[in-house]
């Protein structure tokens, strides 16, 4: 069954409805699901999970990978990154979501949006929204993480926003070496420049990544870009 819009758009519609009607988000999600022909959002999310790209993408990731997931706001990059974390946990691996942007409530609603039950993963999932998040902080937190752990960093451009944090060209190579040495997968959510024009190409690419400060993007050995339901995955080499 094909949806009238990508799931990230339907979630955004539900959030807007919840604010307008002053109703709980889960009620708004169920209402939107009803418009799509499902009796509940959980059923819609479960059905769509079988055709969403996260499972196929996760199968192409390997310990030591540095992955960049980029899209303009509202096009599903955070949901896809969380889905990758869920796929890792389904495989028995630990996942950590480091966020300088999201609050705990946002992650909880995102689990709901993708049809995943956060409680089923228990201690396999950890959410961290410390203002101290940086390469050094992440490496300290993951110092004893087992091989195969998947970490999401939300998001790349905020890592060196504060002047007391090292610049990206120091932090990202350090995290790349750390991921390789420890056998971890690190997924970076990334902003896309506003100059990106979807009329010229269906998905953004590395040339469209917003870089307030210099960074060698070849440090990322795998990339995934999204736009309007289109997903493009590339592996270096």
Q: What confidence tens digit (pLDDT) does each residue in 170-217 have?
A: 999 999 999 999 999 999 999 999 999 999 999 999 999 999 999 999
* Model pLDDT, residue 228: 85
- Rounded to an integer, what distance in angstroms lies between the CA atom of residue 71 and that of residue 8? 12
Output the pTM of the full model. 0.83
Q: Kindly tell me the sign of the dihedral angle through the C-alpha atoms of 48, 103, 121, 126.
A: positive
Beta bridge partners of 150: 95, 185
pLDDT in tens, the chain (237 residues): 577 877 777 888 888 999 899 998 889 989 998 998 889 888 887 776 655 788 889 999 999 999 999 999 989 899 999 999 999 999 999 999 999 999 988 888 889 888 888 999 999 999 999 999 999 999 999 999 999 999 999 999 999 999 899 999 999 999 999 999 999 999 999 999 999 999 999 999 999 999 999 999 999 999 999 998 889 999 975
Top CATH class of 54-235 equals alpha beta
Contact 2, 38 (CB under 8 A): no
Cis peptide before 155 (omega within 30 of 0): yes
Task: Give domain limits for the chain.
Answer: 7-49, 54-235
- Rounded to an integer, what distance in angstroms lies between the CA atom of residue 107 and that of residue 119? 12
C-alpha distances in angstroms, 43 versus 1, 30, 46, 47, 149?
Answer: 12, 9, 5, 6, 29
């Amino acid at each position: 069954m094909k949806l009238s819009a990508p799931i990230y758009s339907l979630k955004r519609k539900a959030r807007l409805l919840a604010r307008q009607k002053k109703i709980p988000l889960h009620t708004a999600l169920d209402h939107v699901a009803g418009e799509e022909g499902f009796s509940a959002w959980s059923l819609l999310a479960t059905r769509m999970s079988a055709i969403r790209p996260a499972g196929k993408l996760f199968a192409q990731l390997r310990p030591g990978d540095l992955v960049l997931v980029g899209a303009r706001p509202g096009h599903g990059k955070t949901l896809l990154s969380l889905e990758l974390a869920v796929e890792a946990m389904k495989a028995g691996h630990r996942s950590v979501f480091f966020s300088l942007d999201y609050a705990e409530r946002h992650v909880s609603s995102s689990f709901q949006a993708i049809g995943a039950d956060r409680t089923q993963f228990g201690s396999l999932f950890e959410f961290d929204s410390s203002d101290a998040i940086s390469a050094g902080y992440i490496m300290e937190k993951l110092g004893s993480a087992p091989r195969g752990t998947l970490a999401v960093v939300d998001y790349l451009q905020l890592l060196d926003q504060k002047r007391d944090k090292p610049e990206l060209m120091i932090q990202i190579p350090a995290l790349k070496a750390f991921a390789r040495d420890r056998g971890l997968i690190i997924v970076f959510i990334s902003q896309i420049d506003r100059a990106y024009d979807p009329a010229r190409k269906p998905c953004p690419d590395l040339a469209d990544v917003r870089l307030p400060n210099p960074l060698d993007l070849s440090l990322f050995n795998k990339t995934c870009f999204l736009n309007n339901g289109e997903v493009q995955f590339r592996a270096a080499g």
